[in-house]
Each structure stands twice: as C-alpha cells, then as structure tokens.
Amino acid sequence: MPPRSPYTIHLVVLLLILASVQVYLFVKARRRIRRSGLTPRFKSLLVASLALFVGFMQVPYIALFIGPEPGVRSAYAVLKYPFAVWSFGAIGTALLLGARDLVSHFRGRVRARRRNPRPVNLERRAFLGRAFGAVAATPMVATAYGATFDTGRLEIVRKTLPFTSLPPSFDGLTILQASDIHSGLSMDPATLRKLVQQMNALRPDLVLLTGDYISASMKDLDPFLSAFASLRAPMGVIAALGNHEYMYGRIDRIKDGIAEIGVTVIFPIAAKRGVSLTLSGHYHGGQLALSLPGVTLSAAHLVTPYPEGLFVEGRGLLYVNRGIGTTGPPVRLHARPELTLITLSRA
C-alpha cells in the first residue's frame, strides 16, 4: 500500500477548517443562549443539545475516512442529510457572522476615540441584530435547498458540435461523457447501478469517462467496477484517470480493474496528438454556485477560466462536465450533476 500523505494532508486541513468553523458557531450560539431570558435549566439543556449535535456532525467525516464498510454506511445514511446542510451551511454562516464581528469591532474602536459619541440606540441595535440573524441563516437555507433538490437531479446536457474536418463517417456520431463519479458513501452501489442504466438508455455510439471514479479510498473501486461492467456502447468505453485516482488509489490496480470490465485507458496517447475536441471534468461546476443574472459565481469560477460548459479557442473545443458525484458533504447548489451527450456534425 503506497503512502497516503496527500489524502492525510487534505483530510487534516479540511477537518481543521470545519472544526474551527463549528467551534466558532457553537461559541456564538452558546453566548446568545446564555444572554437570553430562558430559565437556567433550559439554557443548560439547549447548550448540551447543541454540543451533542455538533459532535454527531463529526461522525460522517470519520465515516468518509474509514470507507464504505456496512456498519459505517448505515450510520452515514442516517446523518448524510443534516451533515450536508450543516457542513457547507456552517461555513457560509460563519463567514457572515465573522464579517459582522469585524465590522462591529472596528466601529467600536472608532466610537471609543470620539470625544462625544452618540448614545447607543439599544432598540435599533436589537432589531438589526435580529435582522442580521435571519440573513446569517441564509447559507443554511440555501444548502438545504441544494441538498434536497439539486444534488440528486441528474441533468442530460445535449450538445451538437460542428467540425470542418470531420470525416463523413463520423457525422452524427454520439459521444456520452460522464465524469467525477466519486464512488463511495455518497455514491452507493444502488445509485451507481441506476446511473449506468440511465447511461445505457441514451444509446451513445461511444462513452468517454473523464476521471475521479473513486472518492477517497481503494475500497470505493469495486462498487464502481461492478456497476460499470454493464455499461455498453458500440464503439466502446474509454477512460482517463482523475486526480482522486492518483491521490487516493493504486494506479496499477485501478487500470487493471478498468481494463477487466472492457474499458480502455488511452488518454496519454491522445494527449500527444493535435485533437479538435477535449472533454474534461474535475471542478463539479463549483459544486456550490451562486447564480445571478448574467453571471455564476463559485470556487471553480475563481480558480479557473474553464469551470463548466463549452469553450472555444481557435479551432479547438473544450467541454467541461459538472460531474456526477460530490467531494466531501453530498450537496450541490446551482450545479446539478450532469451527463453530456455530444453529437458530432460536419460544419
């Protein structure tokens, strides 16, 4: 077994960030509870319940590290939905509250330096505090919406791409692209089998798989291979490996397993030649995106000029698929899972 330092580093950094966020929110909520007009006994009960909830929300992270063992899978299934909402929603809420704390801190310092500060309007402050509390809950609500509606709604994106040099025999050829499957606790065997059925129902001439078949462990490989062994296309199925295979897997074992189910890994050869169409995945469309009129914002849109969709440079076309699965908590927002069915045509 090769060293898993990239996975360990990734996991530790992620856990530290999420732990810091959740501790911050717990402290803020406990302070608010203690300042309330509730009875001391009820305050203690609320604080204890909140601490218990935050503790339970760490269990899915342990489950993601251990892998898809039967007992772990059962526990994860129970906590998956609140875990998804809490994990991503907590980050947004913490950022909003943290920004407010910083603004309040600097306003307090400015006020302290004034010789004749205006008296504080306590009623107005209380109203603004309640209003901001509602705003701070927005990330939780948005994440709940994404986990409920967007995460499981597979979108079939159909594209017809024209090429001047396309051979007549390829005119009308259909290519199905699937990416970022992320077999694991959030993409269980039953979901994988349903996905393959949907792919076969589209009857493509050729299937291209563009990486990230496992989530975070070699234990995720066998369920993927078992489901995708029944994937069929007249011209075959071709696969390229993704970063999750290199970070968390054993490359030789993955390549052998893919070959055993009749899928070809050829990508390094194709990359050395001038190609007119490149298909990619990786970014999940940001996984969590904010859609505004004329613009979409997400982490992917900040780090790459090619976050999702079709891009044209000269005679070259690039299509970036949003992928099927998720990384980390199983939630998507305005970045629905995607299968892309591409039809080639002569320009």
Q: Which of 55-69, 165-179, 299-313 has the lowest mean pLDDT?
A: 55-69
Q: Span 97-114, mean pLDDT? A: 80
Q: How large is the average pLDDT for residues 308-332?
A: 87
Mean pLDDT in residue range 35-56? 91
Axis-axis angle for helices 70-113, 138-145 (nearest 10): 150
Which pLDDT does position 2 carry in this prediction?
41
Say whether both 132 and 175 belong to one domain.
no
CA distance 43 to 32: 10
pLDDT for 178: 97
Q: Does residue 6 register a pLDDT over 70?
A: no
**Model pLDDT, residue 8:** 60
**Do 212 and 160 share a structural domain?**
yes
Tell me the C-alpha distance between 294 and 236, whole Å: 38
Q: Are residues 166 and 209 in the same domain?
A: yes
Give the confidence band of 132 by pLDDT, cuts at 50, 70, 90: confident
* pLDDT, tens only, 169-200: 999 999 999 999 999 888 989 999 999 999 99
Report residue 246 as tokens: 């290199």
Examine the pLDDT at 136 and tell me if it is beyond 50: yes
Residue 222 CA: distances (Å) to CA of 34, 137, 207: 50, 40, 20
Q: Concatenate the DSSP letters of all residues of 211-236 into one string.
A: S--BSSSGGGHHHHHHHHTT---TT-
> Residue 288: its pLDDT value, please?
86
Q: What is the pLDDT of residue 234?
A: 96
List the CATH number of the domain containing 302: 3.60.21
Do 159 and 226 belong together in one domain?
A: yes
pLDDT recorded at residue 109: 78
Residue 1 has pLDDT above 60, yes or no: no
Distance, CA of 7 to CA of 10 (rounded, Å): 5
Instruction: Give the percent of the chain with pLDDT over 90.
Output: 37
Question: How confident is the model at residue 317, as a pLDDT?
Answer: 86
Query: Is the full-model pTM beyond 0.85?
Result: no
Query: In terms of domains, do 136 and 177 share one?
Result: no
- 17 and 135: one domain? yes
Model pLDDT, residue 208: 95
How far is 323 from 225, CA to CA, in rounded Å?
18
Instruction: Please tell me whether residues 162 and 205 are part of one structural domain.
Output: yes
Number of structural domains in the chain: 2
pLDDT digits (tens, 9 = 90+) for 268-287: 555 456 677 889 999 899 88
Q: Mean pLDDT over residues 321-334, rounded?
A: 88
Domain that holds residue 63: 5-147
Alpha carbons within 13 angstroms on the beta-carbon side of residue 1 total 7
Q: What are phi and psi of 264, to 5 degrees?
A: -100, 130
Q: Report the pLDDT value the prediction gives residue 295, as an integer from 0 to 100.
A: 77
Would the pLDDT of 43 be above 50?
yes
CB count within 10 Å of CB 309 equals 16
pLDDT band at 10 (very low <50, low <70, confident <90, very high): low
> Are 120 and 237 members of one domain?
no
Contact (CB, 8 A) for 333 and 146: yes
Q: Apex CA 149: angle with CA 211 and CA 13, to 5°?
A: 50
Q: What is the dihedral of CA 229, 232, 237, 239, to 10 degrees?
A: -40
Answer for the pair 224, 232: CB distance below 8 angstroms, yes or no. Answer: no
Q: How far is CA 273 from CA 1, 269, 318, in A?
A: 34, 7, 15
Q: Which of 117, 147, 177 is the last residue of a domain?
A: 147
Spatial contact of 204 and 233, defined as CB atoms under 8 Å apart: yes
Query: Same domain for 190 and 321?
Result: yes
- What kind and span of H or E run contains 163? strand 155-163
- If you average pLDDT over residues 118-134, what whole number do you get? 71
Residue among 170, 91, 181 nearest 138 (CA):
91
Q: How far apart are CA 327 and CA 284, in angstroms?
A: 9
What is the β-pairing status of strands 206-210 and 174-178? parallel
For residue 113, name the pLDDT band (cuts at 50, 70, 90).
confident
Mean pLDDT for 307-315 is 86
Domain identity same for 134 and 184 = no
% of the chain beyond a pLDDT of 70:
89
300/270 Cα distance (integer angstroms): 26
Judge whether 180 and 242 are in contact, CB under 8 Å.
yes
The mean predicted confidence, pLDDT, of the chain is 85
* CA atoms 23, 26, 28, 31: torsion sign: negative
Residues 63 and 72: beta-carbon distance below 8 Å: yes
pLDDT tens for 211-269 read: 999 987 888 899 999 999 999 999 999 999 998 888 888 889 999 999 999 888 774 55
Chosen domain end from 117, 132, 147: 147
* pLDDT at residue 4 in the model: 46
Q: What is the pLDDT of residues 147-162, one digit of tens each?
A: 888 888 999 999 999 9
